[in-house]
Amino acid sequence: MHKGKLTMLGRIMAGLQAVITHDAAGQGLFVAYHPPAQPLSQFIVDSCQQVPLATGASVCVIDRAVNALALARTFDHQGLGLLGMLDDNEPHGLESFAATLEETRKDGTRVYSGPWQIPRADDPRHVVIVEPVEGKTFVSWGTPRGKATVAPTAWPQVDRERRERQENSFKRMMDHGALNTNYGRKKMIGADRQQQRVREQLDQALEAAQKRIAKHGQEVKTPQAKVVESASKGHGKRLEQRQRTLAVLEKAHKDAQHQHGQLAAQVAAVGPPGERADRDFCKQTIMTVRTLLLENALMSFMARLLGFLKTKVSLDCLLQLLFERSGARMETATQVVYWINTAGFSVPYHRRLAEVVGGLCAMDLRDQGKPIHVRLQTMPP
């Protein structure tokens, strides 16, 4: 069954694109949503411009980006720092760069940095190459501000940290933060972006066609005069030569006019500026801010709790061991006691929960001023 064009008014493209920012401690700082039809690099530029304003951070670290050069230029023009990974298709080994050896690490990994071998006009990117003894070469780039803020030898580490922090955070938020849930069905009417793009391309082509017509029109005038001159002077062979030249130029002029006519017809077919519906992201953004606030709170809680534990416990494990368990609560005038039901726990899980409970007791938790005690409910239900 035909369901109409994607850009048809009233039909919205499925999916959402979020740009989420974290700080070095893994705390969510910023979120912005964009329609899925919008090119990723364009809204990364928009979002990254908002991030320094909203958070005060001066350097943004992004993943391997499409249109990295355009991003780097935009950031450089605004005096912002940007670090990212170079597209795998771009580097052709060390010979592409005027790289100098910065350091050789204990494991034999060599770190080079430098600009492009052949200077590229308006390419502000500085490149760092990490060449391990075995395995793939790692190439990352940064704008001058990024280079000034973060030492080039630290770029690979910064990129690894970004991946660890953000990708793990996204996984956690999908698991227990409802990050992948859609909220709100409201639509907002906006300009038909696809039509705008087609119109822009046609307008450019039409303008070029008009220039060609004018150029060919000028070129035809001289041979026409020469043909008239040859005819009046009674030239024989020269007249033929001039008529042939004139015919070629007239054909080119006619072709240009024909092409212009075709383009004008295409512009007319595109019609007046259209509208299309996009999802309204307000509710989605509110709920994602909620998710980020929750994640930040959980991370802080974890950090505090881990300070009292001897063994490492992941947040997922804590959610299963502690958060999702049932139990009982008793409040007296002087204290609050929680019991956690341990029925069905294996001995190692029981031990781990006992350690967590010990940590909770050491955290000096209080409810309305009353100390909170957490106990294991060891009796079978």
Partner 1 sequence: MPIPQSNPGDAPGPDWCAGRKVTETHKALLWKLLSDDPTCPSRLHAIAETPEQITVTLRHINRLRKAWGLNRGKGRPHRVDGQKKGEPQGHLVRVTASLSFVGVHVCEAWWQQHGGMSAVMPLLQQAIPTYRAPHPDDDFPLLHHREQTLRRRFQALFFAPLLGIETLTAFDTHAHPLQTLLGRGYHSATLTPCLGPLERIDAAGALLPALVPQQVGHIAYVDGHMIA
Closest CB to partner 1 among residues 83, 256: 83
Closest CB to partner 1 among residues 270, 354: 354
Place of tokens 């929750």: 294
CB of 151 to partner 1, least distance (A): 12
Dig out the tokens for 355 from the structure.
């350690």
Cβ-contact 173, 179 below 8 angstroms: yes
Alpha-carbon distance of 379 to 381, in angstroms, equals: 6
Q: For the sheet containing 336-341, what is the strand order?
A: 336-341, 370-377, 366-367
Integer angstrom CA distances of residue 373 from 328, 360, 366: 12, 8, 9
CB of 255 to partner 1, least distance (A): 46
CB of 329 to partner 1, least distance (A): 4
CB of 103 to partner 1, least distance (A): 21
Alpha-carbon distance of 231 to 46, in angstroms, equals: 66
Place of tokens 């949503």: 33
Backbone torsions φ then ψ of 227, nearest 5 degrees? -65, -45
What is the number of other CB atoms lying within 10 angstroms of the CB of residue 365? 14
- 3-state SS, residue 34: strand
Closest CB to partner 1 among residues 86, 220: 86
CB of 246 to partner 1, least distance (A): 59
Closest CB to partner 1 among residues 193, 283: 283
Closest CB to partner 1 among residues 130, 150: 150
Closest CB to partner 1 among residues 1, 333: 333
Cβ-contact 70, 122 below 8 angstroms: no
CB of 132 to partner 1, least distance (A): 23
